[in-house]
Amino acid sequence: MNELKEKIVWARNNQKDLYELVDVSTKIIQQNDISKVFTNFANETYLASFIQEPKIKSVVFNSLDRKHYKEWEGFKKCKFLNKLHFKVVVGEYDLMQFDCSHFIEDWKHFAGYMISNSTKFIYLNNTESVSKEERNEIVKSFYLQDFFIHQSFDGYYGKIILANGRN
């Protein structure tokens, strides 16, 4: 078994709530022709699932923690960035995944800057690690960009999946 598959199997056996989220994510990717992913969520299981998924052609992973670079540098589909969020040059991504526990001063500005017309889905992870008011502000920021709540999960620190209402 390759190392990517091992990470997913480990989650299936040891973190059922995380595995459920990855499974839902895989179904969304396969059903919606997702091929380009941007993420700032440092989770090995998610990254492994994105990289091993045949439909995904590229994964851009932004993290300020350089330790992650060594873990993912050998995979051709994965590009590692080491930039502050406001210095990331945004490309055309079908799926964007954001860690809500990262410090973002202005989520409305961030949402407007980060997403593009080609963005079909947004995953907001760690939604339980922020206050209810901040979570509502984050969701509203993407709602103002024509995204709506597609699914919501309480497991694995919370996750909200938003879908593009324009497509």
Structure token pair of residue 77: 């589909």
**Phi then psi for 147, rounded to 5 degrees?**
-105, 145
Angle at 4 between CA 22 and CA 50, to 5 degrees: 45
| pLDDT score for 28 | 95
Tell me the sheet residues that pair with 58. Answer: 36
| pLDDT score for 149 | 96
| pLDDT score for 73 | 67
| pLDDT score for 113 | 87
- Tally the residues of the chain: 167
CATH topology of domain 3-164: Rossmann fold (3.40.50)
Mean pLDDT, consecutive 10-residue segments, the chain of 167 residues? 83 90 93 94 86 93 72 78 80 92 88 90 94 95 95 89 88
In the chain, where are the structural domains located? 3-164
| pLDDT score for 72 | 66
Q: How many CB atoms lie within 10 A of CB 6?
A: 12
Question: Around 14, how many Cα atoms within 13 Å sit in the side-chain half-sphere?
Answer: 7
| pLDDT score for 95 | 95
Residue with tokens 């980060």: 114
| pLDDT score for 38 | 92
